[in-house]
Amino acid sequence: MGIMSRSLEHFQESVIREMTRKAIENDAINLSQGMPDFSPPIELIEGIKEGLDEEEHQYSVTYGRTDLREKISEKLQDYNKLVVDPYNELTITCGASEAIASSILAITNPGDEILILEPWYENYVPITYLAQGKPVFVSLSKETYSIDEEVLKSNINKKTKAIIINSPHNPTGKVFSPEDFKIISDLCIDHDIFVVTDEIYEHIIFDGLKHLSIGSFDSMKERTITISGFSKTFSVTGWRIGYVAANQELMNGIRKVHDYLTVCAPSLLQYAILKAFDLSSIYYNELINRYQKNRDFLHKQLLSLGMKVFNPQGAYYMFADISQFGMNDIEFANYLVKDEGVATVPGSSFYMNNRFGNNPGSNYVRFSFSQKLETLQNAADRIKKRLI
């Protein structure tokens, strides 16, 4: 009998976090993990101080602070066009990652198939295996990363339980269109499939595009699990405060899993996050402007190096084709971090090997532009010293 669970045979530790470790080891600029190198809003820092004064040190209610859930419910109605009961349909989690884990574990039976859009954020696949489900990979169109209706439809069968979607999309920065969501929603209704939607980058959208929540589409609320959080919007990736919204029947199951995984999200940080709801629209506009400037700068720099790059519509990642350098993604990423002092993420970590044993991501690396503009400038200068 083996010591470890057989589920672990299907995946390895996070490549993204591995590249952060390599960045530290090589004193490199970290453009691998999506971590801002600037401070969060001062209001949130003051919230921490107030929470300490109020001695917010003990467990919160398992489902999260009531006042925080009420604030999130108001935000969901105003911004996402979702009507969510804060008392029975909403739970505060230890980041969006725990919300995803609790949701997939709650709805998946052994052998259920979970559709995952490819390329995908690396957490989705391991949690599907841990839930004893089977990930089924649905390729996005190569040039625009849009939904191909026929490809999606061809992967649906009687075992299909849910589809995980992510918009704005990691790693490409794609913002799915109303047409993309219509394809997904129609097929999910026709085949009685749940949607788990990861909307953690919902406030980082460029070029005047608007965020859409698929749960707001006709007949989709009852089959949609909506997940988001505060890490990306407020530059507090280490605070680990997220949330999940779903109908009461689904939420009852999600809450059971959440309870035994984590008991509750950190009480002090729940208290501090309340301050985020005092921020005006000016904050969100400045956030978009900051990241759009970063995007435009990095896009120009990568194009000047001869890379082919999808110009992201949201989030803070850029997926670059590096095939002209004569190295695969792992070789190129290791070269950059060790010889140039810039950490990226190999593209193969966002894909599964095809039936020929090839990985569609082997010609790509992912750059993060979540840092200060001067940090990106320093990274570009380092890369250009040898690649040009």
Give 190's contacts (C-beta < 8 A, 6+ positions apart).
none
CB under 8 A, 24+ apart: contacts of 213-218: 213/80, 213/81, 213/82, 214/165, 214/181, 214/184, 214/185, 215/80, 215/82, 215/245, 216/80, 216/81, 216/82, 217/181, 217/182, 217/185, 218/185
Report the pLDDT value the prediction gives residue 2, as an integer from 0 to 100.
77
Report the pLDDT value the prediction gives residue 388, as an integer from 0 to 100.
58
Q: Please give the helix or strand (H or E) that residue 113 lies within, else none.
A: strand 113-118
Domains and CATH numbers, the chain: 6-40+281-387 (3.90.1150.10), 42-278 (3.40.640.10)
Plot region of 235 (φ>0 → left; ψ -120 to 50 → alpha; else → beta): left
Report the pLDDT value the prediction gives residue 84, as an integer from 0 to 100.
99
In which residue are the tokens 């689904």 written?
A: 250
Adjacent-strand bridge partners of 166: 198
Adjacent-strand bridge partners of 198: 166, 227
User: Which regions in the chain score pLDDT beneath 70?
Assistant: 1, 355-357, 386, 388
* Whole-angstrom distance, CA of residue 131 vs CA of residue 109: 7
Report the pLDDT value the prediction gives residue 287, as an integer from 0 to 100.
98
* Whole-angstrom distance, CA of residue 384 vs CA of residue 30: 16
* Whole-angstrom distance, CA of residue 46 vs CA of residue 48: 5
Report the pLDDT value the prediction gives residue 20, as an integer from 0 to 100.
96
**Which residue in 286, 220, 254 sits closest to 63, CA to CA?**
254
